Amino acid sequence: MAPLQSWHLYTGTGEPREGEVTFPPIPPWRSHSEQPVIERFVSDSSENGILERGKTYQATSEEVDMVNAALYLRRPLIITGIPGTGKSSLAYSVARELKLGPVLRWNITSRSTLQDGLYRYDAIARLQDSSLSGDEKKVPDIGRYIRLGALGTALLPTSKPRVLLIDEIDKSDIDLPNDLLNIFEEGEFLIPELFRLKGESKQVEVYPADAVDDQDMAPVVDGRVRCHEFPFVVLTSNAEREFSPAFLRRCIRLHLLPPSPEKLLKIVEAHMLPMSESISDALREEKRLQYQQIIDNFVQRRKSGELATDQLLHVIYMTSQFNEGDDGEERKNKLIEKLLNPLNSRVNM
């Protein structure tokens, strides 16, 4: 990794920063909410175990620079690359190091719409509850029937940016990327069901996507959700389609290449040889040599077909289960063949 720069917020160390993380001023053309800022409404205890995924991520100098550019410019970061290059894990790494809370995740399918990401209003449940109460004049609070989606939650005016992972945006309907343009530009959206009530109720409490109980409800003023700090948005793409220039203009772009042998060794060591593990230096070096042999084989195979880093970890973990005295070398090699079946080929029978 190249030397870190003084302007870096994210350094790629995999460990939470010490002390408070201070974000730079918002670019004048990207200023957002004048609404009251709300603190994080999800308990920090919910983060336990969620951000471990970012602990072992091995960021390159280019990745560090592009993440920081996205953080400074308050622009989404679109990451392309073949499956298994760590596109999703980068979002968790940033959330962990900058202590931005649990990652909000929106998994995209061909049926996903902008509405899915913003909010859902359960009008039928509200009508049923009103009927069951036996008092037609006693209508339940509308906010209890509105749950924000991952994108809608990320746009709440919190004091620190939330991390939003929009996974596999290239699998969406052709219209979804363009539907996101105004949201990315303005950092706000309207909830019509609440906007119509603004003369009666200026502020309504609704459920964020990651709310676990009523204590986690967040206020929405005049039916409008407008961010204070633009969220750190990571969009991943397996490069299965092209995006419009208008969409790309609003994004910082990063392409992840398959990890080099040196990076693969660091990834394997981070997962298999944590520094806290009390093993001797001699044993650690012996394991590194074993890993390097498997990595060399993996890299050679990768030249003739797509392979994901997960597959390498699977092989190393499974081969570690074989004892030297096991009479099963042929079975072990056959297992490795199966585990290293290229992603762009049919399954070997």
Token pair, residue 330, equals 């042929």
pLDDT of residue 165: 97
CA nearest to 67, candidates 109, 125, 5 = 5
- Helical packing angle, 281-302 and 309-319, nearest 10°: 130
Instruction: List Cα–Cα distances, 34 to 17, 158, 280, in angstroms.
Output: 29, 12, 57
Q: What angle do CA 10, 79, 170 make, to 5 degrees?
A: 150
pLDDT of residue 128: 85
Interatomic CA distance for residues 222 and 198, integer angstroms: 5
CATH of domain 28-255: 3.40.50.300
Average pLDDT over residues 208-225: 92
pLDDT of residue 132: 74
42: confidence class by pLDDT, cuts 50, 70, 90: very low
The model's pLDDT over 65-93, given as tens digits with 9 standing for 90+, comes to: 999 999 999 999 999 998 888 899 999 99
pLDDT of residue 3: 60
E strand intervals along the chain: 77-80, 104-107, 119-121, 146-148, 163-167, 188-190, 203-206, 218-221, 224-226, 232-237, 252-255
64-68, 274-278, 332-336: least confidently modelled range: 274-278
Single-letter residue type at 254: L
pLDDT of residue 345: 67
pLDDT greater at residue 138 or residue 185: 185
48: confidence class by pLDDT, cuts 50, 70, 90: very low
> Quick one: CA dihedral 246, 170, 78, 118, positive or negative?
positive
The model's pLDDT over 87-132, given as tens digits with 9 standing for 90+, comes to: 999 999 999 999 999 999 999 999 999 999 999 999 898 888 877 7
pLDDT of residue 111: 95
Per the prediction, the chain carries an average pLDDT of 86
The model's pLDDT over 294-312, given as tens digits with 9 standing for 90+, comes to: 999 999 999 988 899 999 9
The model's pLDDT over 235-274, given as tens digits with 9 standing for 90+, comes to: 999 988 889 999 999 999 999 999 999 999 999 988 888 6
> Quick one: CA dihedral 116, 174, 223, 229, positive or negative?
positive
% pLDDT > 70, the chain? 86
The model's pLDDT over 153-199, given as tens digits with 9 standing for 90+, comes to: 999 999 889 999 999 999 999 999 999 999 999 899 999 999 988 67
